[in-house]
Amino acid sequence: MSALLETRGVWQRFGGLVANSDVSISVGRGEIVGLIGPNGAGKSTLFNLIAGVLPPTQGSIWFDGEDVTRMPAAMRCRRGIGRTFQVVKSFETMTVIDNVIVGALVRTTVMREARRKAHEVLEFTGLAARADVLASDLVPAEKRRLEVARALATEPKLLLLDEVLTGLTPTEAQTGVALVRKVRDAGITVLMVEHVMEIVMPLVDRAIVLDLGKVLVEGKPADVVRDPKVIKAYLGDRHAVGA
Amino acid sequence: MDKDFAARRRRDLIIAAALATIAALTPLFVKDVVVQNILILTLMYAGLSQSWNILSGYCGQISLGHALYFGLGAYTTELLFTKFGVLPWFGMLAGGVVSALIAMGLGYPFFRLRGHYFVIATIVIAEIGLLLFHNWEWAGAAMGITIPIRGDSWLKFQFLRTKLPYFYFALALCCLAWFVTWWLENSKWGFWWRAVKDNPEAAESLGVDVFNSKMGAAAVSAFLVAVGGSFYAQFVSYIDPESVMGFQFSLLMALPAVLGGIGTLWGPVLGAAILIPLTELTRFKFGGSGRGVDLIVYGTLIVLISLALPRGLLSLFSRPKKTGAAR
């Protein structure tokens, strides 16, 4: 079976800065893939290219057997790509349930049906008790979960998570990890950008390490963390000696 | 929770029906023509503000140029009536359609602008419209159009002996705008609009067609405002560019909503019920020498509201929501 998501020789230049150079990755159906790398590696850029915030300078992006390189974000959502934002973007003046209903309305225009779906998703993400609270009144960890809930309501095939586990307390992070597993068990493929290695590594099936805009290493998490190139990229030359 | 929600919507509908009934009965007790006049204007502005609220409150695209659509409604109706003998009812529809089309035509370039830039564009466009009508000979230019008396009937939508029919039409317009808002509030469009207002980028990522949401809101909003303009023209029976397209109309559509609670179902009605009588009374009291006193009133109100109750008077009544961490 072909990969669910594929980037083929993707380049992104911002003026003189090359954020992604010749990045080719693929994500198979049902996988949890971690996209990691030190700051400035080009993770967020690649993430935004996949989500459809901007088109790549060069190369193509394929989703579910279709070229989506130039497709706008809203259309990609309809095709089955859901995403969260690194800096949360809740609809602050709307209640939690209403936030999620917006997502559910991609699949149905019947309000009763969208509302039912939204409740189901809130149950799934553990936000049910907060349904009628304004999004602006949520604590940061809840806002992260709301981002996930909203994206899940669009019934994605692929869920893109942008640092959903970063900046949480250890307990909150564990709840987050459990939620990501649950999402995958529900049959949704997950691609997550993260830079907290110790949380992501046990969670993902496969890790792709970006450095300086290029794919550095790709493989099983256990192999990736031992790879001298990865250690060098994160910690510098000295630590790579003897690895 | 679903039951709460359905109950709240039903309650809104019942309150609206009750208020409309009470309003419909007031002419039985209020015989004073001056007061009736104020009531008519209050209802009209409530309806207009409610319509403005669809684009600017729900969808978040603040327009200070809605006078353009008001004027277009008035002019379309009266030009068709005086030049071609088309009944005002059809003129009213035509005005609505013309305004909706122009709103979308303008939205095409201007919905790419954000925040203050969009507001400035709306002001400028309305001023250009005003200038065009000032110089359009065929449409009466600065002299305006005096609407000829063709009869005293609902068919011609002209009433000479009593103001009551105007009162009931204004009430109907207000109810229509309220009901359209109520209905759209719980529809895909209503949700899309609020999402676009709060965060267009997030909305986009959830499959919301941001651009067309704005276009839809603009069309509905402009259509209803134009119907109001067309009504106003019949009501005052004389129009010129300033008297139907002046900047004050843009303000008088925005202010009630802002005062009562922008982006809320009841805000515009509440705001209009307070602001319009206040304006009319100050104008009545200070007469010709008091030109500008109403502007002082607006200014003071805006300052007070933005300082004390940025979400409008309605926020006084809303139940405080439970806040803080969950479980």
| Co-location of A161 and A243 in the same domain | yes
B202 closest CB neighbour out of A85, A129, A139? A85
B117 in contact with A, Cβ within 8 Å: no
Give residue-wise pLDDT tens across range A135-177.
999 999 999 999 999 999 999 999 999 998 888 888 998 999 9
Does the pLDDT at position B286 exceed 80? no
Q: Is the residue at B320 inside a domain? A: no
* Same domain, residue pair A161 and A129: no
Domain-located, residue B68 = yes
Q: Is B95 helix (H, G, I), strand (E, B) or coil?
A: helix
Average pLDDT over residues B274-284: 85
The answer to whether the Cβ–Cβ distance between B203 and A102 falls below 8 Å is yes
The segment with the largest mean pLDDT, out of A232-241, B133-142, B285-294, is: B133-142
- In this prediction, residue B201 carries a pLDDT of 94
Place of tokens 């869920």: A159
CATH code (residue B150): 1.10.3470
Kindly state the average pLDDT of the residues B158-180: 92
Other beta carbons within 10 Å of A167: 13
The answer to whether residues A149 and A163 belong to one domain is: no
> H/E element holding B301?
helix B293-308
User: Which positions ≥6 away from B169 have C-beta within 8 Å?
Assistant: B157, B231
- Please indicate whether, in this complex, the C-beta atoms of A98 and B191 are within 8 angstroms of each other: yes
Angle subtended at Cα B202 by Cα B200 and Cα B207, rounded to the nearest 5 degrees: 90
Residue of B188, B209, B325 lying closest to A74 (CB–CB):
B209
User: Which of A103, A130, A155 is at the close of a domain?
Assistant: A155
Same domain, A185 and A139: no
Q: Does residue B21 sit at the A interface (CB-CB below 8 Å)?
A: no
> And the tokens for A103?
């997502």
Size of interface A-B (CB pairs under 8 A): 101
In this predicted structure, what is the pLDDT of residue B57?
A: 94
Domain holding A141, by residue range, is 87-155
Please judge whether B202 and A130 are an interchain contact, meaning their C-beta atoms are less than 8 angstroms apart: no
Q: Which residues of B touch A98 (CB under 8 A)?
A: 191, 194
Q: How many domains does chain B have?
A: 1
The ipTM value here is: 0.91
User: Of A155, A172, A199, which marks where a domain is finished?
Assistant: A155
Percentage of chain B lying above the pLDDT 70 cut: 95
Q: Which domain does B231 fall in, by range?
A: 2-246
Number of structural domains found in chain A: 2
Same domain, A134 and A178: no
Contact across the interface for B207 and A119, Cβ inside 8 Å: no
pLDDT tens, residue by residue, A110-138: 999 999 999 999 999 999 999 999 999 99
Determine contact: B321 vs chain A, CB below 8 A: yes
Same domain, A123 and A49: no
Are the beta carbons of B206 and A89 separated by less than 8 Å?
A: no
Residue A134: list chain B partners with CB under 8 A.
321
Structural domain includes residue B265: no
CATH classification of the domain holding A60: 3.40.50.300
CA A20 to chain centre: 17
For residue B15, pLDDT over 70 is answered with yes
The rounded mean pLDDT for chain A is 91
